[in-house]
Amino acid sequence: MAVHKSLAEIEAQGAKVAPQFRSNHAERPWELHPALFVATGGAYVAFLALLGSVTMSEGLVMPFAIFFVFLAAFFGVPIMFARVAPRGEGRFQSWSEFLSEGIDTASGRLTGRSAAAQVLVVPAMLVGWAAFVAVFVSATQ
């Protein structure tokens, strides 16, 4: 239940803020571990490869080439940004440290496993859908 307090009471009480977690690790240009970046890119490549393997024809060579060029740009540009960004002090987090320490997000703190699930759920579902389509198409031909 909420209790009404006057502005003077609030100012007298002062702000109570929890101590901030201060990492001893260097910050990455994007805060997630690179393994998640690689897994996401791999899932999108697998998605295109699965669909391309069962639907490829002469008319689809150019669209799939464009898909792969866009995919390379989508993952290549952040890699280039990461190479030119100034490196912070300290060492980067290992995978086990990422899983145990987690990450701060806009919606609050997440464990490493929760962050991985949040990042990889859509790519994993796309790969699953492409596998279903591949099995369905190959079974009907």
Q: pLDDT (tens digit, 9 = 90+) per residue, 57-95? A: 899 999 999 999 999 999 999 889 888 888 777 788 888
Residue 141 or residue 77, greater confidence: 77
Kindly state whether residue 89 falls inside one of the protein's structural domains. yes
CA-CA-CA-CA torsion for 97, 103, 108, 109, nearest 10 degrees? 0
State the chain's mean pLDDT as an integer: 86
Kindly state whether residue 15 falls inside one of the protein's structural domains. no
Kindly state whether residue 18 falls inside one of the protein's structural domains. no
The whole-model pTM stands at 0.75
Q: How many distinct structural domains can be found in the chain?
A: 1
Kindly state whether residue 129 falls inside one of the protein's structural domains. yes
Kindly state whether residue 13 falls inside one of the protein's structural domains. no
Kindly state whether residue 2 falls inside one of the protein's structural domains. no
Looking from the CA of 60 toward its CB, the CA atoms found within 13 Å total 10
Kindly state whether residue 17 falls inside one of the protein's structural domains. no
Residue 113 or residue 85, greater confidence: 113
DSSP 69-105: HHHHHHHHHHHHHHHHSPPPSSBPPPHHHHHHH-EEE
Kindly state whether residue 93 falls inside one of the protein's structural domains. yes
Q: What is the domain extent for residue 132?
A: 29-140
